[in-house]
Structure 1
Amino acid sequence: MKRLFYCSILFFVFATCSAERKPPSPAVRNYVEEVVRILQANFVNRAAINWVTFKQNMLAEASGANTIEQAYPAVEFAIAALGDKHTQFYGARPVKGPEIPPAKQFPLYPDEPVPGDIGYIRIPWVVGSQEKLDAYITRLQAQIKERDTPELKGWLVDLRGNMGGNMWPMLVGIGPVLGEDTLGYSVDSNNTKTAWRYEKGKALLDGDIQAETAHYYTLKSANPVVAVLTDTLTASSGEAVAVAFKARKHTRSFGAGTCGVSTGRSRFDLSDGSVLLLTTAVFADRRLVRYGHSIAPDEPLKPAEVVPQAIRWIREEYQAKN
């Protein structure tokens, strides 16, 4: 009887392992191959991955899946295996499970009070329709115009709490303070560089207009002193703006290191209607220094120290500049 008991256990283990190793259906296998092809061709760090092993592991994760929807966990597994915080996958249909509450809106921080000799502009996150993006640009440039006076010693550009969205309206909105110049680059896995530029109310990517305003503003005093404020919630497109200020003359950053997703994403629509937002480039500043990680401020400070120290530096730098 004891021997039969042991044999029963062995049979159960064998049957369980066999079930776990059941290959995915042909449709699922084709879907996995589609995902791997996209990742292998476009992921920014593709050279660091053994794609044969990667595909084998993803197929193993999809074992037993008969429908593409059942393969979604394998895609999530693959995304995690990339080791990239910015890539995201959205299934065509929600996976069955507990009801997920609607996502909360990102917080919007209030403006900081500043002395009369300091200009201040907060650059919040932004996503939405073209109408909303146009209104965002108009609002930022109107605030800059309203706060610009000949007496200003410099500007505080506040990126704290900017969790991303669309970088191009941000660059147009803050363009009068940034100045007309090449601001940075996106660099892909082939080392191909595409330049960002602000010029006459337009944000350009290798010369192609990404966002613009017809009624752009020009500062009363060109090339001002600028203090850039960042924190751990400064992410993605917010980090792109932080990069755009890097290596700019008379500019210094204050606060805390950014979130660490200073990378660009591309959208890929999969055959079943699901969407892959894949990291395909890293941000580089105007000197071609690459990021792709948290951007450290020039002066790490506690939250209460950030604005006073930034104002102190602006006044000192203004004196030295003039």
Structure 2
Amino acid sequence: MVKLCLLCFLVISCDAQRRPPAPAVQKYLEEVAGIMQANSINRAAINWVNFRKNLLAQASGAKTIEQAYPAVLLAIVALGDKHSAFVPASPVNSPEAPADQQPPIYPDEPVPQDIGYIRIPWVVGSQEKLDAYIAHVQAQIKERDKRELKGWLVDLRGNMGGNMWPMLVGVGPILGEDTLGYSLDPNNTKAVWRYEKGKALFDGDVQAETASYYTLKSTSPVVAVLTDTLTASSGEAVAVAFKARKHTRSFGAGTCGVSTSRSRFYLSDGSVLLLTTAVFADRRLVRYGHSIAPDEPLKPAEVVARAIGWIREEYKAKQ
């Protein structure tokens, strides 16, 4: 896959090779390539000597760092992970979406009285916004929780990502206190995700929390997880967190396919590299990094009814 992504990065003319970028630009591009080589999840699959040659060739004739930005954007594609990004300090000449444009949040699904329902939407923003998100999700769970519930629908459809930690805290009462998954770096070193008493932990360090956390009336509930092709990144992290949980099954469509985490690297000119540096793994250490298939693939119109039917079946079986 990485080799295919490199193809668009290998088209170099003889004339381009005769016009190297300015020395300051070459230094900058070496900074970029060095960070990529040291940290990319695909670093072992890339010929870095050729990668550097191609990066310089794509920036042929560049006299300023800004003129080399398109070459950096092509290098991001050439990494082949589908999730890395480059945020330039100065705008690149390309059509841009309105600054205030955000993805939609889907409405809640109506469900019968014996079924709990919670949508886990995308979230990004300030600490105040993240705290409000956690409080809202847990308040909804508390409001809808009843001892007579047969189980819960956890709806991740349309969750295009953002910050995974408030999501895990928000849905924590349903997930339960446990190891939820792992991040695996290029050396296959694992860092563990956990939920404990209103806290989302990453290798023991608190990433998000709420002091007034909620505990379900019934422990270890039956859970149906709903996903679609828009479930991405941090949304996929939540889907992974439910994998291998007892009395849990997923329904819908395969996720977007960027079940990976990114790290932020600041460049000397103020630009930022958001590099994919780890893949998600579930609590059994099953590795993802690709689209997460549901246990039951279904057409959109079939998802909710089938998930409710399964919850009732599973609830009866576990009594």
Contact kept? 1:21, 1:60, Cα under 8 Å: no
Which string of whole-angstrom CA distances, capped at 9 and with x for unpartnered residues, describes residues 169-224 of structure 1? Answer: 00000000000000000000011100000000000001100000000000000000
Deviation of 1:101 (Å): 3.8
Equivalents in 2 of 1:21, 1:317: separation in Å? Answer: 68
Task: Report matched runs for 1:1-322 at 5 Å.
Answer: 18=15, 21-96=18-93, 101-102=98-99, 104-322=101-319
Deviation of 1:107 (Å): 0.6
Which structure is larger by alpha-carbon Rg, 1 or 2? 1
What SS does the corresponding residue of 2:229 show, helix, strand or coil?
Answer: coil
Contact kept? 1:20, 1:64, Cα under 8 Å: no
Counterparts in 2 of 1:131 and 1:97: CA distance versus 1, 3 Å: closer
Counterparts in 2 of 1:75 and 1:177: CA distance versus 1, 3 Å: same
Letter of the structure 2 residue corresponding to residue 87 of structure 1: S
TM-score, structure 2 length as denominator?
A: 0.94
Contact kept? 1:171, 1:198, Cα under 8 Å: yes
Deviation of 1:63 (Å): 1.0
Equivalents in 2 of 1:210, 1:279: separation in Å? Answer: 19
Contact kept? 1:167, 1:237, Cα under 8 Å: yes
Identical residues among aligned pairs (%): 81
Counterparts in 2 of 1:250 and 1:162: CA distance versus 1, 3 Å: same
**How many pairs are equivalent?**
307
**Structure 2 residue ranges without an equivalent (≥5):** 1-12
Counterparts in 2 of 1:97 and 1:301: CA distance versus 1, 3 Å: closer
Counterparts in 2 of 1:20 and 1:220: CA distance versus 1, 3 Å: same
What SS does the corresponding residue of 2:181 show, helix, strand or coil?
Answer: strand
Equivalents in 2 of 1:264, 1:161: separation in Å? Answer: 18
TM-score, structure 1 length as denominator?
A: 0.93
Contact kept? 1:125, 1:162, Cα under 8 Å: yes
What SS does the corresponding residue of 1:114 show, helix, strand or coil?
Answer: coil
Equivalents in 1 of 2:155, 2:92: separation in Å? Answer: 39
Counterparts in 2 of 1:99 and 1:308: CA distance versus 1, 3 Å: closer
Letter of the structure 1 residue corresponding to residue 191 of structure 2: T
Equivalents in 2 of 1:153, 1:188: separation in Å? Answer: 39
Deviation of 1:53 (Å): 0.6
What SS does the corresponding residue of 1:169 show, helix, strand or coil?
Answer: helix
What is the aligned-residue RMSD (CA, Å)?
1.3
